[in-house]
C-alpha cells in the first residue's frame, strides 16, 4: 500500500509501547506502576456505522487518517479509543503503532453491522454459528499482538428491552465464553473480554448480574465476563450526580467483581455539549467504583454527537464540543486520576449464577448456555484459518498531511503526534500544540464537579444512546 509505505522507513526506530494493562478484580491495573488505570476515551468510527463495508478501509486501516486523528486526540488528552467495526482481513499495523506511540489503548468490538458478522437481538440462535464465531476470532488474531489492545467487546447493546432480555442473555454470555476460550488458547496474554450494555434501567441490573456471576462463584468459569461496560446518556447539560442518576449507577455497581466503565457517554442535549459529567466520572465517589469512560463520538455524523467535522477532502474542522471537552479534561488532576492504588481489602467475589439473581419478570434466568455450533470447537482448538497477524512497526513521519482547522476556519499549523516514551500513556498537556478555541467559543462551560441537588435521581435512563439515525440497525450486536 503506497500510503502506508510512505509513512514507514527502513531506518526508523520501532515505536515505543504503552504498558500492557490487566483487568484485575474490579479495576484495570498497570503492573509497571502498581496503580489503577482510568479510561479517558473517545469513540472512534469515522464515517459511522453506515460507512463500514467489507470493501472499504476500516477505521484502523489508513495510516494517514490515523495520524491526523491521533494528533487531534492526543492534544485532547485521551488515552483510549473505542473502535466498533473492523475488518480482520485488512492490515492495521501502522494505525495501531501510531495510536500506541501517541499513548492510546484500543477497546475493540468484534462484531460489525454486516450480515453474518454479529449476534442478532431477534432470534439470536439463528446468528450463532461457526462462520460468525470464526470472524470474531479473526479479530482477536488481528489485534492480539498489539500492546495497546486493551479489551474486546463480545457484544454491544444486544439486549435493549425486556423482550430481548428474554432470549438473548444465554447467547451473549456464550459469546463471551467462546472468545475467552479462544484468547486462552491462542494469545500470549489474557486480553479481557466483556460486554457493552445499553443503560436501560429496566434490564440493566439483570444484564449486569447475568454477566458478572460465575458458576459456583468461581472466577475461572470461562463464561464469566472480564469487564462490564455501559452506554449511558442520562447526564445532560448542567445536570448533577443525583439528577442524572449517576449516584444510582455508583451504588448499583459498588460491589462489582469486574471493572465497570462507560463504553459511551455524552448526551447531546443541549448542543453544543458542555460535558459537566467529566468531573463526576473522575471524581472521588465514582472512581472508587468506575474505571472511567468513552465519549461518544469523534466524528460528526447525522446523529449530532461529533467532536470534529470531516470534509470530503479529508480535512478536519474542530467543533465547539471538542474545545468544551478539552477544557473539562484539562481541569482534572491526572496525578490523582491515574495515581490511585488498588484497594487493600479483599476483592469482591462474583455471585453464584442462579435464578434468584434476576429480578425482572421475563428476563432470562436460565444460566445453561448453548453448546458450541458444529465446527466451532475445532476452530477454538486449532485457530482460525487463514490467520491474520499484527505487529508494531516503525513509523518515520508524525505530521498529518491533512489540513486541520479551528471552528472559525483558521488553519492550525505545526500539529503532529508526539511520540511518547516507553511505558507512557497519554494525558492532557503531553502534546501541547495550540488547539485553543477561537475568541467567543465556549470552553468547558459549567461546573466540572458534581453539584449537590435536592432532586431525586431519574431512576430510569432513556436510551438516548443510540441516536435515531441508527435505530433501524438496533437489532444488530456490533453497532455503535
Catalytic residues: 157, 264
Query: CA nearest 382: which of 221, 192, 185, 215?
Result: 185
Q: What does the alpha-carbon distance between residue 391 and residue 35 come to, in Å, rounded to a whole number? A: 27
Buried b (16+ CB within 10 A) or exposed e, 375-407: ebeebbeebbeeebebebbbbebbebebebbbb
Query: CA nearest 295: which of 317, 270, 328?
Result: 328
- DSSP letters along 233-285, please? ----SS--TTTTTHHHHHHHHTT-SS-EEEEEE---SSSS---THHHHHTSHH
- Residue listed under C-alpha cell 503526534: 417
* Secondary structure of residue 155 in the 3-state scheme: strand
End-to-end CA distance of the chain: 28
Q: What does the alpha-carbon distance between residue 64 and residue 94 come to, in Å, rounded to a whole number? A: 9
Q: What does the alpha-carbon distance between residue 480 and residue 470 come to, in Å, rounded to a whole number? A: 8
Using left for φ > 0, alpha for ψ between -120 and 50, and beta otherwise, residue 48 falls in: left
Amino acid at each position: 500500500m503506497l500510503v502506508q509505505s510512505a509513512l514507514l522507513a527502513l531506518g526508523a526506530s520501532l515505536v515505543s509501547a504503552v504498558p500492557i494493562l490487566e483487568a484485575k478484580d474490579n479495576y484495570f491495573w498497570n503492573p509497571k506502576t502498581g496503580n489503577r488505570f482510568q479510561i479517558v476515551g473517545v469513540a472512534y468510527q469515522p464515517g459511522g456505522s453506515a460507512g463500514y463495508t467489507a470493501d472499504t478501509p476500516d477505521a484502523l486501516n489508513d495510516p494517514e487518517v490515523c495520524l491526523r486523528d491521533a494528533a487531534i486526540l492526543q492534544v485532547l488528552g485521551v488515552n483510549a479509543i473505542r473502535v466498533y467495526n473492523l475488518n480482520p482481513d485488512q492490515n492495521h499495523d501502522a494505525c495501531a503503532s501510531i495510536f500506541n506511540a501517541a499513548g492510546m489503548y484500543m477497546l475493540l468490538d468484534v462484531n460489525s453491522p454486516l450480515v453474518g458478522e454479529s449476534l442478532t437481538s431477534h432470534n439470536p440462535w439463528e446468528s450463532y454459528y461457526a462462520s460468525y464465531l470464526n470472524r470474531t476470532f479473526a479479530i482477536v488474531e488481528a489485534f492480539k499482538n498489539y500492546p495497546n489492545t486493551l479489551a474486546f467487546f463480545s457484544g454491544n447493546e444486544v439486549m435493549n428491552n425486556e423482550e430481548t432480555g428474554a432470549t438473548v442473555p444465554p447467547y451473549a454470555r456464550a459469546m463471551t465464553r467462546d472468545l475467552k476460550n479462544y484468547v486462552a488458547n491462542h494469545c500470549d496474554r489474557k486480553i479481557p473480554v466483556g460486554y457493552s450494555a445499553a443503560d436501560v434501567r429496566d434490564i440493566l441490573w439483570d444484564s449486569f448480574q447475568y454477566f458478572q456471576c460465575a458458576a459456583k462463584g468461581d472466577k475461572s468459569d470461562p463464561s464469566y465476563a472480564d469487564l462490564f461496560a455501559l452506554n449511558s446518556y442520562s447526564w445532560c447539560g448542567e445536570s448533577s450526580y443525583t439528577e442524572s442518576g449517576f449516584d444510582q449507577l455508583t451504588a448499583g455497581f459498588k460491589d462489582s467483581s469486574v471493572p465497570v466503565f462507560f463504553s459511551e457517554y455524552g448526551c447531546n442535549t443541549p448542543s453544543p455539549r458542555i460535558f459537566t459529567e467529566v468531573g463526576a466520572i473522575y471524581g472521588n465517589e465514582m472512581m472508587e467504583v468506575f474505571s472511567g469512560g468513552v465519549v461518544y463520538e469523534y466524528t460528526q455524523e447525522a446523529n449530532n454527537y461529533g467532536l470534529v467535522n470531516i470534509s470530503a477532502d479529508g480535512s478536519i474542522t474542530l467543533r465547539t464540543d471538542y474545545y468544551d471537552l478539552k477544557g473539562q479534561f484539562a481541569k482534572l488532576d491526572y496525578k490523582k486520576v491515574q495515581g490511585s492504588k488498588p484497594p487493600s481489602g479483599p476483592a469482591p467475589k462474583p455471585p453464584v449464577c442462579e435464578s434468584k439473581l434476576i429480578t425482572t419478570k421475563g428476563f432470562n434466568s436460565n444460566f445453561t448456555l448453548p453448546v458450541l455450533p458444529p465446527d466451532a470447537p475445532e476452530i477454538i482448538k486449532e485457530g482460525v484459518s487463514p490467520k491474520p497477524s499484527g505487529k508494531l512497526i516503525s513509523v518515520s513521519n508524525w505530521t498529518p498531511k491533512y489540513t486541520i482547522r479551528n471552528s472559525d476556519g483558521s488553519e492550525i499549523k505545526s500539529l503532529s503526534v508526539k511520540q511518547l516514551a516507553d511505558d507512557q500513556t497519554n494525558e492532557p498537556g503531553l502534546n501541547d500544540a495550540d488547539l485553543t478555541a477561537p475568541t467567543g467559543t465556549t470552553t468547558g462551560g459549567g461546573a466540572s464537579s458534581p453539584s449537590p441537588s435536592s432532586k431525586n435521581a431519574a431512576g430510569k435512563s432513556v436510551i438516548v444512546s443510540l441516536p435515531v439515525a441508527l435505530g433501524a440497525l438496533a437489532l444488530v450486536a456490533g453497532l455503535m
